[in-house]
């Protein structure tokens, strides 16, 4: 055999090895992404269970918060703002999972729908000026404000339709 033939065979074998390596790596990346998405969904479920437990411990405050009642005492008001903030911390985590690609759009859209309802609660204004709100990332606060302004626009459009 001559050296040119051996070199050509070596190049072909090397090219095949590179192709096989790339195929293997792409399958590993896909598997890792599926695992990361699954872990993200598991984290969402665990977060829901943890929050449900906290709500059960503070059911009376949570029910009053959802009913839009005002809170007279400082302690009840503080608990309501903290519960509201916990819900928004969970929402912020979901938003971050969504924008990084680890949470699918239907899961984020379902949370966004409940956020719209929460933005209409009287406690929202108190929370928005609280230390808890200042602890959130600016990009999430902008998302909250956009959801709220979208809701306002929807309300304005509905009002205009009713007037015509």
What is the pLDDT of the chain when averaged over all its residues? 85
% of the chain exceeding 90 in pLDDT? 51
Residue written as token pair 């404000």: 145
Write out pLDDT tens, residues 46-100: 888 998 999 999 999 999 999 998 887 889 999 999 999 999 999 999 999 899 8
The pLDDT of 14-25, averaged and rounded, is: 93
Task: Kindly tell me if the per-residue pLDDT of 35 is higher than 70.
Answer: yes
In a domain, 102, yes or no: yes
- Residue range of the domain that includes 122: 40-158
Q: If you search the block for the tokens 């929050």, which residue do you land on?
A: 51
Q: Is residue 25 part of a domain?
A: no
In a domain? residue 19: no
Residue 14 lies in a domain: no
Structural domains of the chain, count: 1
- Predicted confidence at residue 1, as pLDDT, reads 65
What pLDDT does 157 receive? 36
Separation CA 63–CA 91 (nearest Å): 19
Residue 6 lies in a domain: no
- Residue 154's pLDDT is what? 41
Query: Please, what is the Cα angle at 158 between 157 and 161, to 5 degrees?
Result: 85
Residues counted in the chain: 164
Instruction: Report long-range pairs for 44-48 (Cβ below 8 Å, ≥24 apart).
Output: 44/94, 44/97, 44/103, 44/107, 47/90, 47/93, 48/90
């Amino acid at each position: 055999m001559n050296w040119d033939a051996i070199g050509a065979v070596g190049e072909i074998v090397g090219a095949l090895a590179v192709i096989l390596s790339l195929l293997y790596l792409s399958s590993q990346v896909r598997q890792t992404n599926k695992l990361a998405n699954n872990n993200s969904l598991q984290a969402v479920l665990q977060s829901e269970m943890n929050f449900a437990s906290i709500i059960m411990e503070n059911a009376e405050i949570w029910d009053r918060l959802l009913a839009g009642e005002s809170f007279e005492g400082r302690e009840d008001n503080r608990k309501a703002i903290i519960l509201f903030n916990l819900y928004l911390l969970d929402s912020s985590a979901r938003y971050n999972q969504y924008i990084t690609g680890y949470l699918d759009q239907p899961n984020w859209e379902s949370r966004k729908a409940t956020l719209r309802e929460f933005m209409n609660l009287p406690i929202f204004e108190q929370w928005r000026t609280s230390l808890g709100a200042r602890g959130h990332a600016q990009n999430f606060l902008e998302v909250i404000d956009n959801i709220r302004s979208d809701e306002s626009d929807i309300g304005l459009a509905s009002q205009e339709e009713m007037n015509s």
